[in-house]
A and B are shown apart, each in its own frame.
Chain A
Amino acid sequence: MSGEVRLDPYEPRGAGRVLESTAAAVLAILWVLPLLYAVWTAFHPAEFSARFTPDAPLTLENFERAWVAAPFARYFLNSFLLVTLILVSQFTLCTLAAYAFARYDFPGRDLAFMLVLVQLMIMPDVLIVENYRTLSWLGILDSIPAIALPYVASAFGIFLLRQTFKTVPRELDDAARVEGASALQVLFKVYVPLARPVYIAYGLVSVSYHWNNFLWPLIVTNSVESRPLTVGLQVFSSGDQGIDWSVICAATLMTSAPLLLAFLLFQRQFVQSFMRAGIR
């Protein structure tokens, strides 16, 4: 918001402000309660998992037990490879397509754009049966690229970048071309740098989505070598080692930790990115 000093007449003051702040804080505590509950359980011995006494001893044992009970290191690596693969391919494909839609005039462009927008409505999440068959026909089931492929050409990304590229002044484009730059050089020297905030926003949204994605990886993967963390966590916590909530909570926190830490550190950036990438 701008720095102008203008008093909002409806800004709560005095007792009203106290009341509103209290109500907001109560809801906020309610909202993080499940997470705090998991933190408590994960960092205390099992006998304190549902007993809240201040003198309960702290321990990291639950994390150790979870870490050795399942190949979490491999799952972390798989998830990392998966989101990196998706991010790099999405950036490449969506940039090229968005550039064509924003700055080229050719027959069939509007029809092609409509065909892209179809994916906003029919997401890969719904077409699981047919996509599974396609990947089995390609012979790449149970691999990390198989999880990534249906999401690589993202209508959302194309749409977002097209809107951004359209705001780049034509004069910049023309000036670069006068200096002899080719179409692709113009794209990478002029358009991409100017769209940096949008790439960051889209990247954050994409990484969080695919780090957290569960149903499709669950269907496609079948081995430790390709399972991402979310599926690994589910296999682990629904396994037959008996329900030990302390260990499950530790594994759950471990799975969420990278995004959670990034969010706590770059809170403003995250909120603004979701805002920017969500408003179309």
Chain B
Amino acid sequence: MTRFSASVHGWLLLLPALALLALFTHFPAAATLVDSFWSTPRGARGSVFIGLDNYQTMVEDPVFWTSLVNSTWFALGTIPLSIALAILMAVWVNDRIAGRTLVRMAYFTPTILPMIAVANIWLFFYTPQYGLLEQVLGAFGAPSHNWLGSQSTALICVIVVAIWKEAGFFMIFYLAALQQIPPHLAEAAALEGASRWTYFRRVQFPLLMPTTLFVLVNAVIGAFRTIDHVIVMTRGGPDNATSLLLFHLYQVGFSFWDTGYAAAITAVLLAILASLAFSQYFFLERRIHYR
């Protein structure tokens, strides 16, 4: 095969995938940036160039700031806990404990269920008076509380659901990594008289670092793109207490149909995701390799 015909073949094979990627990833990403400088067309009035006005609207929009703060708290509340739980689950399931297969299955089950379906179950769980949570707490004499209906607890409830859904998914990556640690390391550590905790902290945990990085990146991206449970459980309420960034974008774009402003919010969301990807490459990756 000549070099020329190899090039033609190669590009022909790529063409369908690249065309669709261009149409649904590259073009919209670029169009979002452009649209964010234009006004939303309303009726007969077309779209006009308005410079940074959409971004001005954003800065002055208190719901945007609330959503940004909520998203940050959501990420900070979900990620460390679900990673810690995932490691704990993986260490347990990796040992020869009783009922290991069943236990592993129990941890993993939430992963394959639709978020929208489990959100309905959790909604029932949190229901005032009637729900399981209230009944259990009531049995201990705790006063009744509207968990999803009060500003102080709604976001925590949403975070709990996310942790429950994701910990088992992250567990399997840790499980795979644990199984790849050569057994002679444990033998050597035992000869040195290291306790199990020391072995975990000095040997297993550092060797799990690449997995942690992988899980971390996935978890952060996930934290910014999962809003199914918010739509089902709280619709962003009460008083925007659970409005995450993508949920706000969804509202602006498809409830208020303000596409110009929605483009500006998308641009911010893209900037957040891009900076995350860059920090992964330029900061985290290095620190882990040269440890």
Q: Which residues of A contact B (CB under 8 A)?
A: 1, 6, 8-12, 17, 20-21, 23-25, 27-29, 31-32, 34-35, 37-38, 41, 50, 92-94, 96-97, 99-101, 104-109, 112, 115-116, 118-119, 121-134, 149-150, 152-153, 155, 158, 183, 208, 211-212, 214-215, 218-219, 229-230, 233-234, 237-238, 245, 248-249, 252-253, 255-256, 259-260, 263-264, 267, 270-271, 274-275, 278-280
B262 is an interface residue with CB less than 8 A from chain A: yes
Would you mind naming 14 contact pairs between A and B with Cβ atoms under 8 Å apart?
A: A11-B96, A27-B107, A28-B106, A28-B107, A97-B17, A104-B9, A108-B11, A116-B18, A122-B274, A124-B25, A126-B269, A129-B259, A129-B262, A256-B114
- Which of the candidate stretches B28-36, B66-74, B148-156 sits at the interface with the other chain? B28-36
Contact indicator B132/A158 (Cβ below 8 Å): no
Given the known interface contacts A20-B97, A28-B102, A37-B125, the answer about A129 and B9 at a Cβ–Cβ threshold of 8 Å is no
Contact indicator B103/A35 (Cβ below 8 Å): no
CA distance A153 to B23 in the complex (A): 10
Contact indicator B13/A127 (Cβ below 8 Å): no
CA distance A214 to B225 in the complex (A): 12
Q: How far is the CB of B275 from chain A (nearest CB, A)?
A: 10
Closest chain A residue to B175, Cβ basis: A275
Contact indicator A149/B24 (Cβ below 8 Å): yes
B206 is an interface residue with CB less than 8 A from chain A: no
Contact indicator A212/B113 (Cβ below 8 Å): yes
Given the known interface contacts A106-B11, A211-B114, A234-B231, the answer about A129 and B97 at a Cβ–Cβ threshold of 8 Å is no
Contact indicator B124/A20 (Cβ below 8 Å): no
CB < 8 Å neighbour of A21 from B23, B97, B169, B189: B97
Residues of A contacting B110 in the complex (Cβ-Cβ under 8 angstroms): 31, 35
B43 is an interface residue with CB less than 8 A from chain A: no
Closest chain B residue to A32, Cβ basis: B106
Chain A interface SS verdict (over half): helix
CA distance A34 to B123 in the complex (A): 10
B216 is an interface residue with CB less than 8 A from chain A: no
Chain B, interface size category, equals 35 or more
Q: Which of B74-104 contact A (CB under 8 A)?
A: 88-89, 92-93, 95-99, 101-104
CA distance A248 to B130 in the complex (A): 15
Chain B interface SS verdict (over half): helix
- Total of A-B residue pairs, C-beta within 8 Å: 287
Contact indicator A25/B266 (Cβ below 8 Å): no
Residues of A contacting B207 in the complex (Cβ-Cβ under 8 angstroms): none
Given the known interface contacts A233-B120, A248-B120, the answer about A109 and B10 at a Cβ–Cβ threshold of 8 Å is yes
CA distance A195 to B235 in the complex (A): 43
Residues of A contacting B199 in the complex (Cβ-Cβ under 8 angstroms): 10
Residues of B contacting A92 in the complex (Cβ-Cβ under 8 angstroms): 16
CA distance A41 to B131 in the complex (A): 11
Closest chain B residue to A208, Cβ basis: B112
B187 is an interface residue with CB less than 8 A from chain A: yes
Q: How far is the CB of B70 from chain A (nearest CB, A)?
A: 17
Residues of A contacting B183 in the complex (Cβ-Cβ under 8 angstroms): 6, 8
CA distance A21 to B104 in the complex (A): 12
Residues of A contacting B114 in the complex (Cβ-Cβ under 8 angstroms): 211-212, 214, 229-230, 233, 255-256, 259
Given the known interface contacts A34-B122, A122-B273, A278-B172, the answer about A25 and B103 at a Cβ–Cβ threshold of 8 Å is yes
